[in-house]
Amino acid sequence: MSLNIVNVEKRYLNRASGTTINALNGVSIKVEVGQTLGIVGESGCGKSTLARAVVGLEVPSAGSITWDGKVIDNKAKDRLKSHHSQVQLVFQDPYSSLNPRQQIENSIAEAIEVHGLVAKDKITDRVTELLVMVGLDPDLRNRYPHQLSGGQRQRVCIARALSAEPKLLVLDEPVSALDVSVRAEVMNLLIDLRKNLGLTYIFISHDLAMIRYISDVIAVMYLGKIVEFGTWEEIIENPVHPYTKALIAAMPDHSIIGDPTMLARTLEGEVPDPVNLPSGCSFHSRCALAVPSCSIIAPTLREISNGHLVACSEV
Amino acid sequence: MSNPLLSVSGLGISTVQDPRTLVNSVSFEIMPGEAVGVVGESGSGKTLTALSILGLLPRGVAIAGGSIIFNGTDLTKADPETMRNLRGSDISMVYQDPMTALNPVMKLGRQLLEVIESHEKLDDGSVARVEAALREVGIPQVERAMESYPHEFSGGMRQRVMIAMALLLSPKLLIADEPTTALDVTIQQQILALVSEQRRKRDMSMLWITHDLGVVANLVDRLIVMYAGNIVEAGTVQEIFTNPQHPYTHGLLSSLPSRTDKSRKRLTSIPGVPQKPWLVGNTCGFAPRCFKVTAECTASAPKLVGSLEKSVACFHPMGDK
Amino acid sequence: MKRDPLKPKGGFYYYMQSTSGIVGAILLLFMVIVSLCAVFGWLPHDPLEQNVEFAMQGPSSNFWFGTDEFGRDIFSRSLDGMRRSLTVSVSAVSIAATIGVTLGILSGYLGRWFDQLIVRLSDVIFAFPAILLALAIVSTLGNSWYQTSLAIAVVYTPIFIRVARGPVLTVKEMDYVKVTRILGFSSLRILRKHILPNVTAPIVVQVALSLSWAILTESGLSFLGLGTQPPNASLGLMVSEAQSIAAFAWWALFFPSAFITIVVVGLNLVGDGLRDALDPARRSS
């Protein structure tokens, strides 16, 4: 079983200005069952669009996404449903992802009820089980979301996603909105759940430190494309693409202290507008290694060592 | 030793109606030319502390006690006119959200000129001064930028404009409230480098507020750690990062995933959630989450004791390594 | 099973926390009782009975609110007028709310051409001043009470479309609604369980406010001679008729006007109270 993303493109048409936003420009990636894929990149790199496409919230403009060989296609209603229960998403903001008028118990029980996942008289027990699984006191079941803290809410969101008995969990910045002192607990929970339930994760974040901590393989995205892919050790210890290098250098680091040279500028300029994509390599405008041909020929991912792929002609 | 530029002592902030303590007896000093970081989570009182220095506390929240001495003047007793003169010229601020901090219907050049105009008379040199300030923070094509509206700039560029605006009148103290939180990491890096460079060049004091320990590690000289409305630990960056004394600081630092640990061992987590400042009362606010808690911790509040280099408010500090 | 101290309380509890809500409810209750008296005919005098002998008398123990130029008892007429005003406005608002909310929610949720159509249609109705449109409809349809109700309903339907559609547009983009799609729930369930409960607050408040406007509109129509017809009583018509004699008989103008004011203020206060009670964020404090 695996998730297969093949040449996915996503464009949004802005009717008002008549322009097209190129959110995803040909992304191919394969996630094996039990693996955790970390996707890192800055805002506008397409990582959240990809997450939404994987769970079926967005229909790709081109390319295909299959889970366990089944195509994810909005037209095939039944397939979508079965796919849906196997692939779930946890959003970044635990404040907007729970229905404010629904008690915790109902939020978690709803999918179980609708899809008849357990017998009617066992639903309460199942909810208790899920609450305990995510480290919440089952007595919280009658609360409304606003009576919980951010960390507790995110645990409820995780429990709700798990209620559908998914195989693949897409985690879109799951700890970024939480207080710093609460993040570690949620990260530990995710790692425990992965082990205990045999889950496959796609962990999306702009925070390379968290990505590094949880991922087996890491994909670095820039302007709707994967620029580098490899095992976590390879990407962190031996980055090859100039963008990956810059990203790692820009990571705020608490292990190096009082060294102003740490603040040296690593990367000039800003991410180009996804409406007018640069020709050739989309990173050439900010790249220190760029040669004239970079603005003409778009590099494709090529393998430089076992399982380490990079899209750059100059390395 | 020179006198501190800013000296906050016993500062308390609470809500006006049905008084609830939000910041409880906070004391710290900033020397001329020194950069101090305030680290804390949401609700720790770090932003309110900064806003109170500028006299810009939100509606319904007021200073409940203590003093804020800036350059010999007690700002808690200053009249609105004095405060207005001080803001922008002697003390200026950079906010978290560059999208909302600029007036969307006013050209940038005009907005910057207004800053000068509000404190001194405009003259022939004013436009050149604004242009120089924009150039200094790395805005390309300055003449065109002067005629542009804020929406024509990216978040990073807007934050640069905000910094140019804050530095325009050469303040003695720059207060920065998480100015890089809304930005991407590579842009954050650029902004941190810019601020660091400008601060050294101008020998300006700085108060940098953040929830991200990584951001301040190489930016400031000293750190203040706030928790539930109190300062729990303060000291030099070196001391705080390498030898944290308060269990909260210690827990926070060890909960961050390491950049070098190959084994990716389980993160140390702090159980529970941050305490509300008004519920702390005369106890240690961290006691409910602390692994070293004893009866003493809930019987009275620990005082911040120690030197400028290192002080901690804890009955059972971690002890030297 | 031990009771959770934070177990949510019912909406009624929160409504009773609001001062304006309580005052509004008391005013409204009073007016409903008054109307019920008229329905059951518990009136001191026949509201239509003329008696020139007692014309233009001030308030007394026999005629509590005095009499008009035909010697009719203003107290009885006010009560009967209140009944008629409430009947018209309640039926008008019920029709407008039912149709408007249904169209508004579907319009917001379905989007595309259906949304375009509904929005354009309500814009057209919105373009007319409310009282003018109601006037036009009443003069075409006729002026019995249900025709007046229908006219007011047409005028108010676009308001409900707008009040329901706006929040639906916001709520359907919320992550918790997206989650329900990922969980494979049907559109009907999403609408009923996740969208409707989160848009009811503004709708309920709008019902209270619209009722008060409808009473004013009905009064206005009657005042202009197009609503309730003489010799029947409605609050608006009574104010209209009292104009000519107000200089000599203040009571003829004062009491019906006071009734209108009380019911309108009462409904507005109820609207405020409901808004406070239905907002979970306001509750948490």
Q: What is the mean pLDDT of chain A?
A: 87
User: What's residue C115's pLDDT?
Assistant: 92
- Could you give the strand order of the β-sheet that contains B73-74, starting from the edge strand earlier in sequence? B21-30, B6-15, B61-70, B73-74
| Shortest alpha-carbon distance between residue B218 and chain A (Å) | 4
> In chain B, how long is the greatest CA-to-CA distance?
68
Average pLDDT on B93-102 reads 81
Tell me which residue of A193, A204, A222, A196 sits closest to A37, measured CA to CA. A204
Rounded Cα gap, residues A242 and B157, in angstroms: 23
Token pair, residue A145, equals 């979301």
Do the Cβ atoms of A159 and A136 come closer than 8 Å? yes
Identity of residue C16 = M
Rounded Cα gap, residues B214 and A311, in angstroms: 30
Give the chain A residue nearest C182 (alpha carbons).
A84
User: What's residue C10's pLDDT?
Assistant: 65
Identity of residue C2 = K
For B153-189, the pLDDT digits (tens) are: 888 888 889 999 989 888 999 999 988 887 888 888 8
Rounded Cα gap, residues B91 and B52, in angstroms: 12
C23: exposed, middle or buried (Cβ count in 10 Å: 0-12, 13-18, 19+): middle
Contact C8 A114 (CB under 8 A): no
How confident is residue C3, by pLDDT bands cut at 50, 70 and 90? very low
For B59-72, the pLDDT digits (tens) are: 889 999 999 999 88
Q: Which residues of B touch A40 (CB under 8 A)?
A: none
For C172-228, the pLDDT digits (tens) are: 888 999 888 888 888 888 988 899 888 888 888 888 888 888 888 888 888 787 877
For C129-185, the pLDDT digits (tens) are: 877 888 888 888 877 888 888 888 988 899 999 999 999 999 988 899 988 888 888
β-pairing, B35-39 with B205-210? parallel
Rounded Cα gap, residues A272 and B90, in angstroms: 37
Identity of residue B321 = K
User: What's residue A125's pLDDT?
Assistant: 94
The partner residue sitting opposite C198, judged by closest CB among A88, A101, A139, is: A101
A193 inside domain: yes
Sign of CA dihedral A273, A277, A279, A280: positive
Average pLDDT on C247-257 reads 86
Token pair, residue A97, equals 């992802």
C207 inside domain: yes
Residue B6 has pLDDT above 60, yes or no: yes
Contact A143 C4 (CB under 8 A): yes
Q: Which residues of A touch C179 (CB under 8 A)?
A: 89, 91, 97, 157, 160-161
For A115-168, the pLDDT digits (tens) are: 888 888 999 999 999 999 999 999 999 998 988 988 999 999 999 999 988 899
Token pair, residue C188, equals 């009907």
User: What's residue B320's pLDDT?
Assistant: 61
Contact A114 C176 (CB under 8 A): no
Contact A251 B185 (CB under 8 A): yes
| Shortest alpha-carbon distance between residue A193 and chain B (Å) | 14
Rounded Cα gap, residues A125 and A131, in angstroms: 10
C238 inside domain: yes
Contact C280 A84 (CB under 8 A): no
Do the Cβ atoms of A217 and A203 come closer than 8 Å? no
Mutate to test the interface with A, among C14, C171, C179, C285 (most CBs of A within 10 A): C179
How confident is residue A75, by pLDDT bands cut at 50, 70 and 90? very low
Mutate to test the interface with A, among B139, B141, B185 (most CBs of A within 10 A): B185
C152 inside domain: yes
Interface of A with C (CB under 8 A): 55-57, 80-81, 84-85, 87-89, 91, 93, 96-103, 110-111, 114-115, 139, 142-144, 146-147, 157, 160-161, 164
Mutate to test the interface with B, among A47, A176, A247, A255 (most CBs of B within 10 A): A255
- Total domain count, chain C: 1
Q: Which residues of A touch C281 (CB under 8 A)?
A: 100, 146
Give me the domain span that covers residue A96.
2-246
Fill in the DSSP letter of residue A274: T
How confident is residue A81, by pLDDT bands cut at 50, 70 and 90? low
C197 inside domain: yes
The partner residue sitting opposite A149, judged by closest CB among B188, B219, B273, is: B273
Identify which has the larger pLDDT, C138 or A197. A197
The partner residue sitting opposite C178, judged by closest CB among A57, A114, A144, is: A57
Average pLDDT on A2-29 reads 88
Average pLDDT on B217-222 reads 90
Nearby residues of C1 by Cβ (< 8 Å), 6 or more positions away: none
Nearby residues of B203 by Cβ (< 8 Å), 6 or more positions away: B32, B33
- Ranked by mean pLDDT, the top range of B192-196, B207-211, C152-156 is B207-211
How confident is residue C2, by pLDDT bands cut at 50, 70 and 90? very low
Sign of CA dihedral C167, C173, C176, C182: positive
Predicted ipTM of the assembly: 0.82
Cβ-based contacts under 8 A for chains A and B: 133
Residue C4 has pLDDT above 70, yes or no: no
- Total domain count, chain A: 1
How confident is residue C9, by pLDDT bands cut at 50, 70 and 90? low
Give the chain A residue nearest C201 (alpha carbons).
A101
Please, which chains are in contact with C (at least 3 CB pairs closer than 8 A)? A
SS3 string, chain B, reads CCCCCEEEEEEEEEECCCCCEEEEEEEEEECCCCEEEEECCCCCCHHHHHHHHHCCCCCCEEEEEEEEEECCEECCCCCHHHHHHHECCCEEEECCCCCCCCCCCCCHHHHHHHHHHCCCCCCCHHHHHHHHHHHHCCCCCHHHHHCCCHHHCCHHHHHHHHHHHHHCCCCCEEEEECCCCCCCHHHHHHHHHHHHHHHHHHCCEEEEEECCHHHHCCCCCEEEEEECCEEEEEEEHHHHHHCCCCHHHHHHHHHCCCCCCCCCCCCCCCCCCCCCHHHCCCCCCCHHHCCCCCHHHHHCCCCCEECCCEEECCCCCCCCC
User: What's residue A138's pLDDT?
Assistant: 92
Residue B259 has pLDDT above 80, yes or no: no
What percent of chain A has pLDDT above 90?
A: 49
What is the distance between the terminal CA atoms of chain A, rounded to a whole angstrom? 34
Q: What are phi and psi of B22, to 5 degrees?
A: -110, -35
User: What's residue C1's pLDDT?
Assistant: 40
Tell me which residue of A309, A176, A265, A286 sits closest to A223, measured CA to CA. A286
Give the chain A residue nearest B213 (alpha carbons).
A254
| Shortest alpha-carbon distance between residue B131 and chain A (Å) | 20
C48 inside domain: no
The partner residue sitting opposite B259, judged by closest CB among A43, A183, A209, is: A209
Q: Which of residues 140-199 of A touch B (CB under 8 A)?
A: 149, 151-152, 179-185, 187-188, 191
β-pairing, B222-227 with B35-39? parallel
Q: Which residues of A touch B185 (CB under 8 A)?
A: 42, 206, 208, 247, 250-252
Rounded Cα gap, residues B109 and B176, in angstroms: 22
Q: Which residues of B touch A233 (CB under 8 A)?
A: 262
Rounded Cα gap, residues B53 and B223, in angstroms: 18
Do the Cβ atoms of B13 and B49 come closer than 8 Å? yes
User: What's residue B188's pLDDT?
Assistant: 86
Do the Cβ atoms of B237 and B225 come closer than 8 Å? no
CATH code for the domain in which residue A190 is found: 3.40.50.300
Do the Cβ atoms of B209 and B178 come closer than 8 Å? yes
Identity of residue A127 = V
A312 inside domain: no
Please provide the size of chain C in residues. 285
Fill in the DSSP letter of residue A27: E
Give the chain C residue nearest A106 (alpha carbons).
C193
Token pair, residue A5, equals 């993303």
- Could you give the strand order of the β-sheet that contains B91-94, starting from the edge strand earlier in sequence? B91-94, B173-177, B205-210, B35-39, B222-227, B230-236, B310-312, B305-306
Contact A209 B213 (CB under 8 A): no
Identify which has the larger pLDDT, B260 or B93. B93
Which residue has tokens 């005028």?
A: C155
User: What's residue C18's pLDDT?
Assistant: 79
CATH code for the domain in which residue C260 is found: 1.10.3720.10
The partner residue sitting opposite A56, judged by closest CB among C182, C193, C194, is: C182
Average pLDDT on A30-37 reads 92
Fill in the DSSP letter of residue C234: -
Give me the domain span that covers residue C79.
66-283
C119 inside domain: yes
A309 inside domain: no
Token pair, residue C156, equals 């108010």
For B30-53, the pLDDT digits (tens) are: 999 999 999 998 889 999 999 999
Q: Do chains B and C touch (3 or more CB pairs under 8 A)?
A: no
Residue B107 has pLDDT above 80, yes or no: yes
Question: Exposure pattern of C111-122 as b/e (b: 16+ CB <10 Å)?
Answer: eeeebeebbeeb
Fill in the DSSP letter of residue A46: S
Residue A187 has pLDDT above 90, yes or no: yes
